[in-house]
Structure 1
Amino acid sequence: MTWVSLIFAGLFEVIGVMGITQVNRTPSFRSWAVLVGGFSISFFLLSFAMREIPMGTAYAVWTGIGTVGSALVGMLFYGEAKDKLRIFCIALVIIAVAGLKLIA
């Protein structure tokens, strides 16, 4: 259950980052709610996951999910670059996160 919590923590981190983008583009109550809500839920789930998952592993997986998720959202919805080197680097992050999961 803690790994599921950690995965959802990473996904809510991506939602928080999307909120930052929305606040920067068109500040509104809704965009601020997405930012604050996304990060609040993310931190809560991360703290729950860290009860059983070692701090270093949990933090690395959480930031990895946030990094990859934010990069993919940026490419799919915000017109960010989709070049091969960027995709290769995203794949390296996924491999590193999967490796941490396997040894934790």
Structure 2
Amino acid sequence: MAWVYLILAGAFEVVGVTGMNKVSRHKDMQSYIILFLGFLLSFGFLSMGMETLPMGMAYAVWTGIGTVGGVVIGMLFYEESKDWKRILFIGFILTAVLGLKLTS
């Protein structure tokens, strides 16, 4: 169950980052709600996942999901660059997180 919590924490991290982007563009109540709820749920699920998983592993997976998710959302919805180098480095992040999991 800890892995489910960790994946949910990463997904809500992406929601929080998306809210942060919306706040920087619109500064309306809906944007702030997305920002705060996303991060609140993210930290809540992260803390539940860390009850079982080691801190280093949990943090690496959480930030990896948040980083990759934020970049992908930016590319899909905010017209950020889809350059092959960005995609390559996303692959490096995923490989590093997977490597941590396999060696733990």
- With the shorter chain as reference, the TM-score category is over 0.9
Secondary structure at the aligned position of 2:17 is classed as: helix
Give CA-to-partner distance per residue, 1:22-62, whole Å, 9 cap, x none: 00111111100000000000000000000111001100100
* Aligned 1:1-104 pairs, distance under 5 A: 1-104=1-104
Letter in 1 for 2:72: L
TM-score by length of 2: 0.97
Rounded to whole Å, the distance in 2 between the matches of 1:2 and 1:101 is 13
How far has the Cα of 1:99 moved from its partner? Answer: 1.6
TM-score by length of 1: 0.97
Percent pairwise identity: 54
- RMSD of aligned Cα (Å): 0.7
Paired residues, number = 104
Secondary structure at the aligned position of 1:82 is classed as: coil
How far has the Cα of 1:77 moved from its partner? Answer: 0.4
User: Which residues of structure 1 form unaligned runs of 5+?
Assistant: none
Letter in 2 for 1:19: G
Secondary structure at the aligned position of 1:53 is classed as: coil
Which 4+ runs in 1 deviate beyond 4 A? Answer: none
How far has the Cα of 1:100 moved from its partner? Answer: 1.8
Secondary structure at the aligned position of 1:79 is classed as: coil
Secondary structure at the aligned position of 2:52 is classed as: coil
How far has the Cα of 1:97 moved from its partner? Answer: 1.1
How far has the Cα of 1:98 moved from its partner? Answer: 1.4
Rounded to whole Å, the distance in 2 between the matches of 1:53 and 1:23 is 33
How far has the Cα of 1:101 moved from its partner? Answer: 2.1
Letter in 1 for 2:75: M
